């Protein structure tokens, strides 16, 4: 039988002889991950199941990142519980100052390789598809079962083939590619599906840009967003991968649920308007909207690439007096790299707050909550009502160039105008 990339990975991690879309199969995990929000809930579920040990401590990663640093006694208690459990179980554990946002450090530290299955207690585990893995988010009860037994139930998803062609124009990034996909299929268009990104435009993307694309696959309802491994993947994993791997690709005659194209030659910088990630407009069509806060960071767009793009805008400029801006490197490694390149000095001189790596304001956990009536422009992945604080605030999603330009202008503006 002919299979898609995702189907091949799932088949290789199951005991089935063959699979078809819609089949419910038991899938073995290569990595199980949770954080300071999902982890403690999963631990309680494990205890209720009577499970006392994880299935394989080398395949379990716990990361304190959502409420890091702790904003109150409750969040501090969650992190205390995560740390004590992790040390008792002997699993991989990342505390504050020693890691960063879970998805970025999982990739940086070589836990994710092509063809692997990664499950996490976080919906944006789809980010790991950037390296050709099947990464998917599970609820805490399913994470508990995966921690105890190393496997989980998975419906075999269909695959939407996204072919990326052409060359990116100025101020267009991976963020715009996934926003274009959302504009085409909507926030439910990928439900029970996988987004597979192929074509010359996909191959030209850096690993950081692929992270940005895969990160928001779940905003279309997709199980994951996956790039076939190639030479760039191999170069990134050289000296980094914790296990051997082989590239996996869809069969030439594999059956896809549907197909669509992203034409980079025609793609402009895009923005997701309130209050849905699929409410897409061109930046040039919504200029002039006042912005109270800019937030550059998160698991898919707090990379060194994003920080370099932001620094290009902030160099020699200053945050508008009516706006505030926050920069959040996705990991300690990114933070140190930005420091070595002098980017943090550029941000400080421009009047930004530079935060420790954290999920923070992305999900309303701290470090930048919004007040009623305020508008934010962020590089994060969701803009639902109340996502970053008040339900009466507005959140817009865009790439780092667009976000930085808004901070300088105090309103949505084409980045080219700031650099003119």
pLDDT per residue, tens digit, the chain (420 aa), is: 899 999 999 999 999 999 999 999 999 999 999 998 999 999 999 999 999 999 999 999 999 988 888 888 998 999 999 999 999 999 999 998 888 999 999 999 999 999 999 999 999 999 999 999 999 999 989 999 999 999 999 999 999 999 999 999 999 999 999 999 999 999 999 999 999 999 999 999 999 999 999 999 999 999 999 999 999 999 999 999 999 999 999 999 999 999 999 999 999 999 999 999 999 999 999 999 999 999 999 988 999 999 999 999 999 999 999 999 999 999 999 999 999 999 999 999 999 999 998 877 777 777 888 789 999 999 998 888 878 887 889 999 999 999 999 999 999 999 999 987
Residue 275: asked if its preceding bond is cis (omega within 30°), the reply is yes
How far apart are the C-alpha atoms of 162 and 181, rounded to whole Å? 8
Instruction: Please name the residues in contact with 297: beta carbons below 8 A apart, sequence gap of 6 or more.
Output: 306, 326, 327, 328, 329, 330, 355, 360, 362, 379, 380
Burial zone of 308 (CB within 10 Å; 0-12 exposed, 13-18 middle, 19+ buried): middle
What local confidence, expressed as pLDDT, does residue 359 receive? 78
What local confidence, expressed as pLDDT, does residue 118 receive? 98
- Where in the sequence of the chain do the CATH 3.30.499.10 domains occur? 5-263, 274-419
Q: SS3 for the chain, per residue? A: CCCCHHHHHHHHCCCCCCCCCCCEEEEECCEEEEECCHHHHHHHHHHHHCCCCCCCHHHEEEECCCCCCCCCHHHHHHHHHHHHHHHHHCCEEECCCCCECHHHHHHHCCCCCCCCEEEECCHHHHHHHHHCCEEEECCHHHHHHHHHHCEEEEECCEEEEEEEECCCCCCCCHHHHHHHHHHHHCCCCCCCEEEEEECHHHHCCCHHHHHHHHHCHHHHCCCEEECCCCHHHHHHHCCCCCCCCCCCCCCCCCCCCEEEEEEHHHCCCEEECCCCCCCEEEHHHCCCCECCEEEEECCCCCCHHHHHHHHHHHCCCCCCCCCEEEEECCEHHHHHHHHHCCHHHHHHHHCCEECCCCCHHHHCCCCCCECCCCEEEECCCCCCCCCCECCCCEEEECCHHHHHHHHHHCECCCHHHHHC
Encoding tokens for residue 233?
Answer: 């993947």
409 with 417: CB under 8 angstroms?
A: yes
Burial zone of 22 (CB within 10 Å; 0-12 exposed, 13-18 middle, 19+ buried): exposed
φ, ψ of residue 346 to 5 degrees: the values are -60, -45
124 with 218: CB under 8 angstroms?
A: yes
Please identify which residue in the block is written with the tokens 């904003």: 71
What local confidence, expressed as pLDDT, does residue 171 receive? 97
What local confidence, expressed as pLDDT, does residue 369 receive? 85
If you classify domain 5-263 with CATH, what class do you get?
alpha beta
Instruction: Please name the residues in contact with 394: beta carbons below 8 A apart, sequence gap of 6 or more.
Output: 274, 275, 374, 375, 376, 383
Distances (CA, A) of 114 to 11, 95, 331: 14, 26, 22
The answer to whether domain 274-419 has CATH 3.40.920.10 is no
């Amino acid at each position: 039988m002919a299979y898609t990339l995702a189907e091949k990975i799932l088949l290789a991690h199951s005991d089935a002889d063959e699979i078809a879309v819609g089949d419910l199969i038991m899938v073995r995990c290569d990595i199980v991950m949770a954080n300071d929000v999902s982890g403690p809930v999963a631990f309680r579920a494990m205890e209720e199941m009577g499970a006392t040990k994880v299935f394989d401590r080398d395949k379990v990663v716990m990361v304190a990142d959502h409420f890091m640093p702790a904003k109150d006694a409750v969040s501090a208690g969650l992190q205390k519980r995560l740390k004590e459990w992790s040390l008792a179980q002997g699993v991989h554990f990342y505390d504050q100052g020693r890691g960063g946002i879970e998805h970025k450090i999982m990739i940086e530290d070589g836990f994710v390789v092509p063809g692997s299955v990664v499950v996490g207690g976080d919906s944006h585990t789809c980010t790991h598809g950037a390296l050709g893995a099947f990464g998917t988010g599970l609820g805490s009860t399913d994470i508990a079962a995966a921690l105890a037994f190393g496997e989980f139930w998975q419906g075999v998803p269909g695959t939407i083939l996204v072919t990326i062609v052409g060359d990116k124009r100025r101020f267009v990034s991976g963020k715009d590619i996934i926003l274009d996909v959302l504009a085409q299929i909507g926030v439910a268009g990928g439900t029970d599906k996988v987004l597979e990104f192929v074509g010359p435009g996909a191959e030209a993307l850096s690993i950081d840009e692929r992270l940005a694309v895969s990160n928001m696959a779940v905003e279309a309802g997709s199980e994951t967003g996956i790039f076939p491994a190639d030479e760039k993947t191999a170069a990134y994993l050289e000296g980094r991968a914790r296990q051997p791997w082989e590239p996996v690709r869809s069969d030439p005659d594999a059956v896809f649920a549907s197909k669509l194209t992203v034409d980079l030659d025609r793609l402009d910088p895009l923005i997701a308007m309130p209050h849905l990630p699929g409410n897409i407009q061109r930046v040039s069509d919504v200029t002039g909207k006042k912005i109270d806060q800019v937030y550059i960071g998160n698991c898919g767009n707090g990379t060194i690439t994003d920080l370099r793009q932001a620094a290009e805008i902030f160099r020699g400029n200053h945050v508008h007096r009516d706006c505030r801006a926050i920069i959040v490197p996705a990991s300690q490694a990114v933070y140190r790299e930005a420091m070595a390149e002098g980017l943090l000095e550029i941000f400080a001189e421009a009047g930004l707050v530079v935060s420790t790596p954290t999920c923070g304001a992305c999900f309303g956990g701290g470090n930048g909550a919004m007040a009623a009536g305020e508008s934010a422009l962020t590089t994060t992945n969701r803009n639902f009502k109340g996502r970053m604080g008040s339900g009466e605030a507005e959140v817009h999603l865009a790439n780092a160039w667009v976000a930085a330009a808004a901070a300088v202008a105090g309103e949505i503006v084409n980045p080219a105008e700031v650099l003119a």
